[in-house]
Homo-oligomer: A and B are copies of this chain.
Amino acid sequence: MNAPLRQATHTLHVPTRGRGLIEITNEIRAWVDKQGIRAGLLTVFCKHTSASLLIQENAAPEVRSDLEAFFDQLAPEDPSRYAHDDEGPDDMPAHLKTALTSVQLSIPLVDGQLALGTWQGIYLFEHRRRPHERQIALHLFGSA
């Protein structure tokens, strides 16, 4: 692959409805498909400290509710555990869940398709109780 390399960036705005996993695979694919790049690397970056990214199973919805329950139990809303609660009892658990998952993912692009496995979907993991509008920076580079 010696074709000329070029790059593109974009900011995705994702409204959330409070805690939980929101699939953003289609929004990301729609942008990638318009860039005219068929081989390369996509980077997805979540610009927040109380929301994160996860690649997880896109089939059984129970996987998502089990994931949410697991992280709620691992980093519970219990003010007695944390010194930081400037924005309420869900504030510090949100930072902990962000630290335990990730704010960045990079995915190869091969033959015009993201190299996701059959069951992999890209999710924004909102950790705050209230709805937010989250900003996701996208960076794509590669060749046509």
- Taking beta carbons and an 8 Å cutoff, which residues of A are in contact with B? 1-2, 5-9, 39-41, 43, 45, 47-49, 54-57, 60, 62-63, 65-67, 70-71, 74-75, 81-84, 86, 92, 95-96, 98-108, 110, 115-117, 119-120, 135, 137-139, 141-143
Contacts and interface: CB of A to CB of B under 8 A. Distances in A.
A92 B9 CA distance: 35
B7 A142 contact: yes
A19 to B, nearest CB: 15
A49 to B, nearest CB: 4
A50 to B, nearest CB: 8
23 contacts: A5-B6, A5-B7, A7-B39, A7-B41, A9-B108, A40-B139, A41-B139, A43-B108, A45-B106, A45-B107, A47-B115, A47-B120, A48-B119, A55-B104, A57-B95, A60-B86, A62-B84, A66-B95, A67-B95, A70-B96, A100-B100, A104-B107, A110-B137
Contact of A49 (B49, B110, B119): B119
B40 A65 contact: no
